[in-house]
């Protein structure tokens, strides 16, 4: 039996970290993720964990400390948001290229400028191709569950990549929801202990970390990262299956909501899925065959599986909570359009950018998207595939 609680998303993330009991946590405060290391530091002070907590002077230092700890053979974690992630940018790439399975809680927030502390996905989209596994979380329960699964995925010998668990700043990070926690002993058994094969403090195997990697080697090393990302798909499913046995909660690459006979559907991520589900239910009551696909695993991207799930639709809208500023839609739309094209699934697709800088996304906004999809489904015509919703005129 799980433990019923009422927690914010940040509290849930901190408790997951406490139950994991990593060797090192290095963090620097930034809104809206500040509470995660703050809560965790109290666990350290109270002796609830034996983690070495490193209060650094910047986010760049936080990721640098995690890289050093993980390279030395320790299990390392951190948390950040927005500009903090941007400040880590150099070390984000170094962590993945060194194949260090660091786990980070990323509380999504708009990246400056202008300065904005509220939610969108511009921080995550900025590092989407940096070599990190990326899991997105609709609610506090999923943020907690994803963190519990994270080390099992990242530390698998066929993967060895860092992993970030995303949740929406303030919308879930500061909102209190009912949640079911797992007992400490079960988490400890599920996550297991960390025994890296290669690490700096192994005096039996002298090694260098971060050497110069020029023309004869870099291409092959990047290919190895790409292969590890492809391997992660199988591992993510295996870990999710074990997690379901323990908790009864089932996870996959994405969630299909009322998609069995859908004619029109929205693809989205994180907390927007909850609002979209409510609209789908209302439209179903009106006889409209609407559905939703919520992406959980954004990196690696579930291209083949998603194309199959969307292939029989008459129209689909892909919603991005960040604008790529490229004149051709958001990052999620580009990935969805690409996978549909490769799979030869000719479904009319529309890109919607929404919620920038914390702009509220209401059921009315989602209804507007579905209304346009109905037009597209009936006519087969798209007058403008690159659209915005919730933007003041």
pLDDT in tens, 130-142: 999 999 999 999 9
Q: Is the pLDDT of residue 191 over 80?
A: yes
**Can you tell me which residue has the tokens 């969307």?**
310
Q: pLDDT averaged over the chain?
A: 97
Q: Determine what percent of the chain is predicted with pLDDT higher than 90.
A: 98
Q: Is the pLDDT of residue 164 over 90?
A: yes
Please compute the mean of the pLDDT values over residues 143-166 and round it to a whole number: 98
Q: Give the whole-angstrom CA distance, residue 306 versus residue 309.
A: 5
**Can you tell me which residue has the tokens 């697709």?**
349
Q: Is the pLDDT of residue 1 over 80?
A: no
Q: Is the pLDDT of residue 181 over 80?
A: yes
Q: Residue 257 pairs with which residues in a beta bridge?
A: 292
Please compute the mean of the pLDDT values over residues 234-263 and round it to a whole number: 98
Please check whether the two domains, 3-247 and 254-388, share a CATH topology: yes
Q: Give the whole-angstrom CA distance, residue 156 versus residue 158.
A: 5
Question: What pLDDT shows up at residue 155?
Answer: 98
Please compute the mean of the pLDDT values over residues 143-170 and round it to a whole number: 98
For the domain bounded by 3-247, which CATH number is listed?
3.40.50.970
Domain residue ranges of the chain, discontinuous segments joined by +? 3-247, 254-388
Task: Say whether domain 254-388 belongs to CATH 3.40.50.300.
Answer: no
Question: What pLDDT shows up at residue 211?
Answer: 81
Question: What pLDDT shows up at residue 393?
Answer: 80
Confidence of residue 24 (pLDDT cuts 50, 70, 90): very high
Question: What pLDDT shows up at residue 210?
Answer: 86
Question: What pLDDT shows up at residue 302?
Answer: 98
Q: Is the pLDDT of residue 63 over 90?
A: yes
Q: Give the whole-angstrom CA distance, residue 77 versus residue 194.
A: 13
Please compute the mean of the pLDDT values over residues 318-336 and round it to a whole number: 97
Q: Which residues contact 120 (CB under 8 A, 6 or more apart)?
A: 108, 109, 110, 321, 322, 355, 356, 357, 358
pLDDT in tens, 278-304: 999 999 999 999 999 999 999 999 999
């Amino acid at each position: 039996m799980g433990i019923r609680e009422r927690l914010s998303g940040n509290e849930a993330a901190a408790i997951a970290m406490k139950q994991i009991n990593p060797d090192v946590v290095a963090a620097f405060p930034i809104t809206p993720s500040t509470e995660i290391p703050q809560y965790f530091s109290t666990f350290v002070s109270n002796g609830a964990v034996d983690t070495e907590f490193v209060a650094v002077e910047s986010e760049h230092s936080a990721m640098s400390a995690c890289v050093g700890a993980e390279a030395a053979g320790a299990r390392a974690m951190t948390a950040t948001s927005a500009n903090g992630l941007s400040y880590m940018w150099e070390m984000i790439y170094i962590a993945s290229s060194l194949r260090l399975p660091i786990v980070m809680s990323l509380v999504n927030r708009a990246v400056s400028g202008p300065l904005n502390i509220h939610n969108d996905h511009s921080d995550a989209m900025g590092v989407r191709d940096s070599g990190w596994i990326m899991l997105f979380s609709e609610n506090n329960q999923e943020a907690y569950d994803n963190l519990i699964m994270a080390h099992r995925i990242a530390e698998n010998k066929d993967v060895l990549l860092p992993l970030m668990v995303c949740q929406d700043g303030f919308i879930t990070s500061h909102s209190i929801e009912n949640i079911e926690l797992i007992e400490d002993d079960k988490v400890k058994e599920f996550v297991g202990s960390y025994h890296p094969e290669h690490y700096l403090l192994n005096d039996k195997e002298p090694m260098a970390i971060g050497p110069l990697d020029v023309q004869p080697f870099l291409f092959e090393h990047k290919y190895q990262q790409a292969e590890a990302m492809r391997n992660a798909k199988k591992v993510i499913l295996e870990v999710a299956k074990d997690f379901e046995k323990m908790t009864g909660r089932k996870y996959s690459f994405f969630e299909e909501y009322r998609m069995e006979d859908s004619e029109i559907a929205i693809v989205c991520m994180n907390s927007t899925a909850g609002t979209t589900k409510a609209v789908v239910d209302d439209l179903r009551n009106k006889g409209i065959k609407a559905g939703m696909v919520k992406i959980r695993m954004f990196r690696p991207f579930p291209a083949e599986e998603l194309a199959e799930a969307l292939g029989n639709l008459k129209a689909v809208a892909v919603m991005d909570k960040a604008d790529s500023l490229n004149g051709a839609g958001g990052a999620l739309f580009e990935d969805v359009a690409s996978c549909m094209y490769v799979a030869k699934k000719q479904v009319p697709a529309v890109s919607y950018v929404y919620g920038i800088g914390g702009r509220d996304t209401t059921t009315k906004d989602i209804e507007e998207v579905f209304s346009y999809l109905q037009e597209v489904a009936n006519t087969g015509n798209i007058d403008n595939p690159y659209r915005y919703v919730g933007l003041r005129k």
